[in-house]
Amino acid sequence: MYIFGTSYRLKSKAIALLFSFLGIIAATTTRICAQGTIGMDAMQETPQIEWRGAVVAQEGNIYHLEFTCSVPAGWHIYDVKEYNNGPISTSVKLEGEAKAIGALTLTSNVKEEYDSAFGMVIGTCEGTVSMLLKVESNAAAPKQIKAIIEWQACREGACSAPEEQEINFGAPFWRQYSGVLWLFSPLASSRWYQ
């Protein structure tokens, strides 16, 4: 029997093959979710992580941007290394009057171990996490440096959705109003916070 110029037998085989393929995909997805590789239950659960930032003036137009957060117990975030086909690593993008002149570095402990979900050794951070980024300003006294931090929090068998937080570093008070208050003069402090 022919339907629309093609044999009925050929169309039924194609439909059966399509349903078999969809069944394999559904079974694989169910198995991966059950093992916790995707961790759909944790996508609804997001740990409260808030980053704080500080700027430390160096020589000339060079500054260190310091970032710190507290990761809740039982959770971790990934280190700053980039992984091919791996997790979303912690990163910082800059906007405003500064550019990175060094790599983002972790100044806190990194725990490296084999992750069977990704099939590679991955670095994670728990507890208090601190990072440092060396930047150069294109202005003698930068009025605005914006840092956008991206990270992903995970726990055993599950991860939350990737998150971003924006930190705006305004102009240092002592650079704008030099001499008004000694406390904010270059002699008193070269560090200011977001």
pLDDT of amino acid 117: 83
Residue 130's closest CA among 149, 102, 156?
A: 149
Give CA–CA dist 123/103, Å, rounded: 16
pLDDT of amino acid 91: 97
Q: What is the CA radius of gyration of the chain?
A: 25
| DSSP 8-class letter at 161 | P
Confidence of residue 13 (pLDDT cuts 50, 70, 90): low
Which SS3 state, helix, strand or coil, does residue 124 take?
A: strand
* pTM, to two decimals: 0.67
> Can you tell me which residue has the tokens 């996508």?
43
pLDDT of amino acid 40: 45
Give CA–CA dist 137/55, Å, rounded: 12
Q: What is the mean pLDDT of the chain?
A: 76
pLDDT of amino acid 49: 96
Strand partners, 193: 54
Residue 151's closest CA among 141, 160, 138?
A: 160
pLDDT in tens, 140-168: 667 788 999 999 999 988 889 999 999 99
Q: Are 78 and 87 in contact (CB under 8 A)?
A: yes
